């Protein structure tokens, strides 16, 4: 996770985001490169990806009004049809992607139950569960080699800990079951 310092930082940006989400009673979870260290290798990331559960326009508009009050600049009007809405924390110079419809994620009770609370400097945050992290990464429309190596890292780091039944169910649901098996075979070869 990013380190804490007196200069503008990811941590300060994260604190502001988490405060808004929790004050507004918005279910959220960090996804992408920021969530990776919870289950796999640590790697640099240049933005913050967060998935939020918002089902009506009034709540969405209120959320973005609160973010704007805390210095986040919106790049477009918030709309429920958007998959992702980009904002910039100008003070900390951090780009934030707020995902309303992330690839490979079905907002349901099971997903929210599986997210995990993780410690950060002076705060706790919600992070996507490892199985959903894998499916999210593999389901990306713009999937890159980096996403697949992130998945390999999680498969190695969580060996023997993943809920296979749930992972396979979600992978089938989002059409990435065969790709998951290819990467699992790769992990088996690495382990030999």
Instruction: Give residue-wise pLDDT tens across range 32-67.
Output: 999 999 999 988 888 999 999 999 999 999 999 999
Q: Over range 148-164, report the average pLDDT.
A: 96
DSSP label at 119? E
Measured CA to CA, the distance from residue 112 to residue 106 in angstroms comes to 10
Measured CA to CA, the distance from residue 62 to residue 99 in angstroms comes to 16
- The whole-number pLDDT of residue 4 equals 44
Question: pTM here?
Answer: 0.92
Taking the CA of residue 166 as centre, how many other CA atoms within 13 Å lie in the half-sphere pointing to its CB? 15
Measured CA to CA, the distance from residue 71 to residue 183 in angstroms comes to 41
Domain range summary for the chain, segments of one domain joined by +: 10-191
- The whole-number pLDDT of residue 2 equals 45
Q: What is the pLDDT of residues 91-146, one digit of tens each?
A: 999 999 999 999 999 999 999 999 999 998 789 999 999 999 999 999 999 999 99
- ∠80-85-91 over CA atoms, to 5°? 140
- The whole-number pLDDT of residue 8 equals 58
Fold of 10-191: Beta Polymerase; domain 2 (3.30.460)
Are 128 and 36 in contact by the 8 Å Cβ rule? The answer is: no
Q: What is the pLDDT of residues 72-101, one digit of tens each?
A: 999 889 999 999 999 999 999 999 999 999
Chain centre to alpha carbon of residue 87: 15
């Amino acid at each position: 996770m990013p380190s804490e310092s007196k200069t503008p930082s990811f941590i300060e940006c994260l604190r502001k985001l988490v405060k808004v989400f929790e004050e507004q009673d918005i279910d959220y979870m960090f996804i992408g490169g920021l969530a990776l260290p919870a289950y796999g290798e640590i790697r640099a990331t240049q933005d913050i990806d967060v998935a939020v559960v918002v089902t009506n326009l009034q709540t969405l508009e209120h959320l973005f009004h609160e973010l704007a009050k805390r210095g986040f600049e919106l790049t477009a009007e918030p709309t429920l049809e958007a998959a992702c809405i980009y904002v910039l924390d100008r003070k900390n110079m951090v780009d934030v992607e707020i995902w309303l419809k992330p690839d490979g994620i079905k907002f349901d009770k099971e997903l929210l139950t599986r997210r995990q609370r993780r410690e950060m400097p002076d705060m706790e945050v919600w992070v996507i569960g490892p199985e959903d992290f894998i499916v999210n990464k593999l389901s990306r429309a713009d999937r890159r080699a980096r996403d697949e190596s992130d998945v390999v890292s999680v498969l190695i780091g969580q060996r023997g800990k993943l809920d296979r039944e749930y992972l396979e169910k979600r992978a089938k649901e989002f059409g990435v079951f065969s790709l998951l098996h290819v990467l699992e075979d790769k992990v088996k070869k690495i382990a030999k």
